[in-house]
Structure 1
Amino acid sequence: MASPPPKLFSPSNKQECQAAVRKLSWEKVISLDAEGVQLGKHGPLTLLQIGTLDGSVYLFDVMINENKQDKKFFTETGLDTILTSTRIVKVIQSCSGDSAALYHQFGIRLENVFDTQVAHLVIEEDKGRKLPTREKLVDICRLYSKNAEVYEGKADVKLEWSKIAGNYWAKRPMTKEMIDYASGDVTALIPEVYETQKTCLENNNCLDLFAERVQEEIELDIDPLAKERRKERNFKIKMEILDEMAKKYRRQTDFASIRDEDEIKTLNDSKVEEMSGLPDVIQDLKRQSMTSFLKSIEEKLETPETFNPDRGVMYKLNDIGHCGSEQLQKEATRIKQEVIKVIIGDVQTKYNAGTPLENISAPEYQALRGLKPLSVDSPRYQPTVVALHWKIAEKELTKAIDELKADPSYNMTIPISKLRFFTNNPGVPRNPKELAQVLLEKQESAILQRVPTKYTRNTNTEELTDSERMVLGGLRLSSGNYHPVVVALHWKIALQKLDKDLVSYRAGNLRVNDGLRNKLNFYMKNRSVPSDIKQKAKEFLQALPQSNRGGGRRN
């Protein structure tokens, strides 16, 4: 018997939604999914799908228009009671993104979830796997059902939103492809996948562990401790696997010859820093793993029209950039630049200058953030790309200002050198320039307040952060009444700078300009300058040709 066509509900007719919710409230088991634009904590949820055991599908559109959610949709329709019900089982595939969006955007915490992804992982662990692989919905269906199928055009729809239309799931009216895709994701989960997994968990006494892991999945982007617990658990397992591998394999083992999936996954997923201090055989296998990864990305780059770099690709390329192999570092840097070209090309196609930052993916954000549109060596970027780059700069500057206001001891990650570049470069737009100036003043003030409590006059300047050295070294002591520790460290930095410049000058690597000559003469004439600075300035002036000593030359 054919399933009834999907029922579509919108914010414009909440009475129909309420009637549907009343009907759904009698169900004991439903399947659930959500779509959105970069769906998650910040990426907006635009559509909620519910499937029932008789094959019915309910599609709840939460968008007032393409740019605005109806924030009261769930409460005013009663859908929140379905989502938070402890009686109705919600069958979901990988619920963390849906859970984060519902919680952070609508204040709804999912209850009584049966996560088919988590069920698969627990079942595999019970069979002996230590780090089972998270599977796509189509593979979950294949593993646990003879009949369940996802929408056959799923790959094409994914390509559409990942490469062409960034706001795909916010577009209205919804197309037939959107409706078929959204419907297929819930009809595939019940009843067969759900019942097969549930039976397996019951027969193997895995329900308690399953419930614990599902709760972790629900809270993954809600409670930071949930993510930390998973990270610590996986790290411990990876270290145990690597210890066993160190005993099992000898040097010169070929990575391609390893067949154990847990060992392969551990080598692929472990960070370079996690490998520090491990036996040479493990270090060698990790290098081979990185080489294999780089080769796989190179192959995908051959068809950029279908290559969609995810967060993991950029993460691994950055990680390889910190490995001990110069050859691998160079290769990773080269491939990363090619990947960024693909990402920036997609950004140009998918977005416009007004696109909200919540609508762009993590790799896109990272690529845009790292651009240097004012560098003479950079390519000329399309206006949309440049506009989004500066929008990201504004966001991060604003966030840093807010953090510094709340906590003056906040350890800011934006370097002072970048702030000074923003304030001094005429090519920087007005908003980020003004924000950089505010942040620069606040950060300099915070550093000058912090230094006397953190250091002493005898502190070695190598103990200072780069930003602290830059602020202290650039002070004009005549413009303020500074703490003795600040003054002492300022002069230490000045002496080191003079000494370094003198060495560079004598080696022929430094041209003396008017600014440096004026500084040397100032040091010689000013009574408040320490004697060791005066002595070094005198030595420098004496090293200069007579005609280049300017005001320092005496008759």
Structure 2
Amino acid sequence: MAEDGVRHKVVDNIDDSVKAVGDLLQESVVAVNCEGIHLGKKGPLTLLQVAKLDGFVYLFNVFVEPKVFTEGRLKSFLENKDIIKVFHACSHDSAALKCQYDVMLVNVFDVKAAQYVIEKSEGRQLPSHRKLLDLCRLYTDVTSLEGKEEVQAKWYKADGAFWAKKELSPEMVDYACADVRILLPGVYDKLKRALDEKELWAALNERVEFELNFRWNENVKYGETKTTIKNILRQFSTKYTSNVELDDITSEDDIQALKQIPIREVGQFPDTVMKLKSQILKKEMDELEQALTEKADSFVPMGWHFGMLDAVKSSPDPAVSMAAGILKVKLVEILKTDLITKYDVTTPGKYISESEKIFLRRLPSTGTNPAGHPVLSYLYNVVIDSDVEEIETLRQKFRREGSRFRLNHADLRRCKNYISAPGVPERLKTKANAFLNELKAGVVESPKTRPRNQFR
């Protein structure tokens, strides 16, 4: 990271926010990004950065003064139809803004979405979802972003409330400013020129509309990619012979389809798909093992790592299955250490990520007694108590609304998982079971039936 001395202003009170918004309203295009704690629909938004074309950056410290959105006029600025807001990957930002502050972003140019539609126009069926550094590297000098991922990993492991600070350190300011300054003018201008040349503005607008809504609005469905994956895999029987190996495949779309298809759905495709999917999983496991060896305790376990290892453990090859089990034990130990390091017995439940919650719910099934450590015991009970409260909230809503009540598919899937998954505490299992039984016995209808695999 190399943004030392960048011109910026931290905005942490109403008066400064009104002045900052007044200045920003003079701009025709700005770059915007949000920081937070596992940012999203529920993950708290704590900082919002806005860069002007001249490189000046406003840092709105929402953690200190959330009223910057209302009394500070930031909401009206973000919803202004005349000013272009350039984002990279706006979906989590949009979900946080809408669900936490009732802000609906307007006139957004998402550089990740722009690259996506450009690649689709060039023949890709499953375009890459490029990280900020990878995308910017295509269009501009990325010196200001060098070391970003290492810094991010260090903060993630050390402090679960890193972005919830009254005072921003110089390192935080450097990081936050770099994320938005990199987008203007170079990346934005070059992507805009490519969209003009290829006449792709309608496709971009459609994609951005999807990105702005799908993480918080259940009426926006995410079905196109799943259909594309299945269509690609069905063609394997005519495209490849039975003796094809993973190293023989050069199509990025074919490789992406193999990576993204869940192992439980592979049986509906040609036998070649199962063989290649197994090879993909083995390759991913080998890469994970290498990363663990190189990074040791600095490695950051993610939810998808555990999902991948669970899939590999079902391998018919005993050696591969055993290796996956050993790796999972290592990840469990690293994650337990991380949780104890970055959280304490005062950590709010909203600071815990969804993947961490899944891990904490399953702690007993990993052979770990949560009561064995005060922080783990506290976090475990916070998660379980929160789950029980959420089901009770649904139950009360059902009793108020009667026949008008509809249980959305995500909540239905969650309740079913609490009932069937191993290691779920009895009080949560009982609560979920009682609620679903009450729903079935009541006057309201359960959601219309979907294909079975969508409930798994």
TM-score under structure 2 length normalisation: 0.85
Q: 2:11 aligns with which of 6, 9, 12?
A: 9
- Please state how far the C-alpha of 1:319 moved relative to its aligned partner: 4.0
State percent identity of aligned pairs: 30
Q: Which amino acid aligns with 1:289?
A: I
Alpha-carbon offset, residue 71 of structure 1: 3.5
Q: 2:334 aligned to 339, 342, 359, which one? A: 342
Quick check: 1:385 aligned with 2:385? no
Determine if the alignment matches structure 1 residue 415 to structure 2 residue 407. Answer: no
- Measured in 2, the distance between the counterparts of 1:384 and 1:75 equals 37
- Determine the structure 2 residue equivalent to 1:216: 210
For residues 235 and 445 of structure 1, the distance between their equivalents in structure 2, rounded to whole angstroms, comes to: 32
Gaps of 5+ in 2: 400-405, 443-456
Q: Secondary structure at the match of 1:50?
A: strand
**How far apart, CA to CA, are the structure 1 residues paired with 2:342 and 2:421?**
33
Between the aligned partners of 1:124 and 1:377, the Cα distance in structure 2 is 46
Alpha-carbon distance between aligned partners in 2 of 1:354 and 1:101, rounded to the nearest angstrom? 23
- Quick one: higher RCO (CA 8 Å, sep 6+), 1 or 2? 2
CA spacing shift, 1:171–1:304, aligned 2, 3 Å: farther
Deviation at 1:186, TM superposition (A): 0.7
- Counterpart amino acid of residue 191 in structure 2: Q
The equivalent position to 1:240 in structure 2, one of 231, 239, 252, is 231
What is aligned with 2:450? none
1:446-457 matches, within 5 Å, as: 446=438
Instruction: Give the conservation status (yes or no) of the 8 Å contact 2:7–2:55.
Output: no
Are residues 330 and 111 of structure 1, via their aligned partners in 2, closer, same or farther at CA, if it must alter by over 3 Å?
Answer: same
The structure 2 residue matched to 1:167, chosen from 158, 161, 164, is: 161
The structure-2 alpha-carbon separation of the partners of 1:394 and 1:54, relative to structure 1 and needing over 3 Å to count, comes to same
Q: 8 Å contact 2:113–2:204 — kept in the other structure?
A: yes
How far apart in 1 are the matches of 2:349 and 2:370?
A: 23
Output one character per residue of 1:497-537: Cα deviation in whole Å (capped at 9) or x when no partner.
Answer: xxxxxxxxxxxxxxxxxxxxxxxxxxxxxxxxxxxxxxxxx
Q: CA deviation at 1:200?
A: 0.3
- Whether the aligned pair in 2 keeps the contact of 1:3 and 1:55 (CA below 8 Å) is no
Q: Residues 159 and 343 of structure 2 are in contact (CA less than 8 Å); yes or no, is this contact kept in structure 1?
A: yes
Separation of aligned partners in 2, 1:237 and 1:441: 36
1: CA distance, partners of 2:421 / 2:287: 37
Does the C-alpha gap of structure 1 residues 60 and 330 become closer, same or farther in structure 2, counting only changes over 3 Å? same
Distance verdict in 2 for CA 1:376–1:88, change over 3 Å = closer
- Residues 64-122 of structure 1 deviation map (CA, whole Å, 9 limit, x = unaligned): 2xxxxx34221111111210011100000000111111111101000000001111111
1:83 to 58, 67, 78: 78
Change (3 A) 1:174 1:291: same
Which moves more between the two structures, 301-310 or 363-372?
301-310
Compared with structure 1, are the counterparts of its residues 205 and 309 closer, same or farther at alpha carbon in structure 2 (3 Å cutoff)?
Answer: same
Amino acid at match of 1:37: I
Contact 2:363 2:370 in 1 (8 A): no
Q: Which TM-score applies when normalising by structure 1?
A: 0.71
Distance 1:272 1:335, change over 3 A: same
Pick one of 111, 129, 137 that aligns with 1:142.
137
Instruction: Give the SS at the match of 2:103.
Output: coil
| Structure 1 residues without counterparts, runs of 5 or longer | 65-69, 423-432, 451-555
- Tell me by how many angstroms 1:417 deviates: 11
CA contact (8 A) 1:34 1:47 kept: yes
Q: Looking at CA atoms only, which structure, 1 or 2, has the larger radius of gyration? A: 1
- Measured after TM superposition, the shift of residue 54 of structure 1 is 0.9
Going from structure 1 to structure 2, the CA distance change for 1:378 and 1:262 (only over 3 Å counts) comes to same
User: SS of the counterpart of 2:183?
Assistant: coil
Residue 111 of structure 1 pairs with residue 106 of structure 2? yes
Map of 1:201 onto structure 2 = 195
SS in 1 for 2:364: coil
Matches within 5 A, 1:247-258: 247-258=238-249
SS of residue paired to 2:22: helix
Partner of 1:496: none
Matched, 1:72 2:64: no
